[in-house]
Structure 1
Amino acid sequence: MSDRITIRPATAADADTFLALVDALADYEKLDRPTPEARGRLVADAFGERPRISVFLGELDGRAVAYAIVLETYSSFLALPTLYLEDLFVIPEARRFGLGRAFFRALATEALRRGCGRMEWVVLDWNQLAIDFYDKLGARRMTEWYTYRLTAEQLAEVAGASTTG
């Protein structure tokens, strides 16, 4: 890791920086930015009394230019936690300085510190830059698993509740 790069846990004092980087990811992926309510939940879930996620910031020459969100899932067969990487985003102008590799080194260290048996993440099929990076790291693409999702409305339907009043 370069002396120019620092990867560190974010603190509540970093909330505005974290939210600005989330906005930058939304812009990059051409998605809507989080609503004010969602922004409040992000801050509470990262820095509140009972955090649900861990946030790490990547700094280049002292300026925050990247973030990662991780959380733990659990493998019943390993009987160990898995460090799940929800987001890893480096602003485009800060790429090619080694932040991605530095993040993976730091997060692999964090996974080992937590006693995790593995680390997992997903990548959008159009993000060839990220796919190439993960391949260079030696990460194995899982082909035997499909990702499924239920939205909030679908959750209510499955649970037997109505969201329409």
Structure 2
Amino acid sequence: MSMVNSWIETEFSDFKLRFAEVEDVPLILTFIRELASYENLLDEVVATEKGLRESLFERKVAEVIIGEFKGEPVGFALFFHNFSTFVGKPGIYLEDLYVKPEMRGKGIGKIMLSFLGKLAVERKCGRLEWWCLNWNEPSIQFYKRMGAVPMEEWTVYRVTDNALDHLAGEFNGKSKQS
């Protein structure tokens, strides 16, 4: 495995961050499945290595950081840019933050989240946002300690599968040739 990426040192001894490379796709999928299992949503994971490789490294629609303790991968964060019309700036949306259970409580999640905050500031973003399951009290308390505020007045809506196909079929636009 050729790691051309440089390590990002942290204040936690033997814990480093790096941006994922294409060789990390199997590891990323493993972390996704572990997170889904923790969230009791493993049956909803349909992601594949091929799809992740295409999205992350060919189309580059999202980025991943990997956290390693003593050279062993122990966590990851997958994120992408969004845009706030109200703020008039891009933001970073954190899709997944996962730390292996045996490594929790050591400050690794805080380091990874604060790195994303630093990245957001460096990239001149106005926000760092994510969703959290309502029942996940340990994560909710962790996020609140980091200064996060729940957006209780907002409801998430989603269109997928057949509903997405139906919605797309509702568009009857015609393009004009000039």
Query: How high is the TM-score relative to the length of structure 1?
Result: 0.89
1:23-59 CA deviation, whole Å, 9 max, x = no partner? 2112222222744x633111221122x2111011111
Displacement of 1:20 in angstroms is: 1.6
Distance (whole Å) between structure 2 residues aligned to residue 120 and residue 26 of structure 1: 19
TM-align CA RMSD: 1.5
Gaps of 5+ in 2: 1-10, 171-178
Gaps of 5+ in 1: none
Runs of 4+ aligned structure 1 residues displaced above 4 Å come to none
Identical amino acids, percent of aligned pairs: 36
Distance (whole Å) between structure 2 residues aligned to residue 33 and residue 140 of structure 1: 28
For the Cα contact (< 8 Å) 1:54–1:70, is it kept in 2? yes
1:116-143 CA deviation, whole Å, 9 max, x = no partner? 1110001001110100101111111111
Please point out which of 118, 129, 132 is paired with 1:123: 132
**Matched residue, 2:107:** 98
Distance (whole Å) between structure 2 residues aligned to residue 136 and residue 74 of structure 1: 25
Higher relative contact order (CA 8 A, sep 6+): 1
Please point out which of 71, 80, 87 is paired with 2:89: 80
Number of aligned residue pairs: 159
Moved more, 86-95 or 149-158: 149-158
Query: How high is the TM-score relative to the length of structure 2?
Result: 0.83
1:82-133 CA deviation, whole Å, 9 max, x = no partner? 1000000111111111111100111011111221111000100111010010
**Matched residue, 1:62:** 71
Distance (whole Å) between structure 1 residues aligned to residue 127 and residue 107 of structure 2: 22
Please point out which of 5, 15, 24 is paired with 2:34: 24
